Amino acid sequence: MRRSMLAAAAAFPIALAVAAPAFSQTAPPAPNAPAGTGTPTAVVPLSEQEIQSALQAQGYSNIRTVKHDGDQYQLQAQRNGKPVLLMVDARTGRYSEHPS
């Protein structure tokens, strides 16, 4: 499941709907159940390294974790030479970008 979320992160820009529409983009949510079973399974959160790798695939660099609270990560990074603050949900893989 983690590989499919990383593949989706590399293929599509993702973001939380927390930021203003000008700053955010949204990707489809991560699947919660295996196909055809109809039985939900626990979603395993992405690790810090998986989050950073997915963000690097989206064009972010100099990524460092500022704060981690449960499945929520706050990271600082650079994109196009500008500093940004990223809020990431490790369960869904969605993030929002804010000017830093």
CA neighbor of 84 nearest in space, from 46, 47, 58: 58
Sequence letter at residue 31: P
Q: 4-33 burial, b for 16+ CB within 10 Å, e for fewer?
A: ebbebbeeeebbbeebeeeebbebeebeee
Average pLDDT over residues 47-75: 95
- Interatomic CA distance for residues 32 and 52, integer angstroms: 22
Kindly report, residue by residue over 16-40, the tens digit of the pLDDT. Answer: 333 333 333 444 444 444 555 555 6
Say whether pLDDT at 14 is over 80.
Answer: no
Kindly report, residue by residue over 67-98, the tens digit of the pLDDT. Answer: 999 999 999 999 999 999 999 999 999 999 99
pLDDT at 38: 58
Tokens coding 55: 């963000």
Tokens coding 53: 């790798």
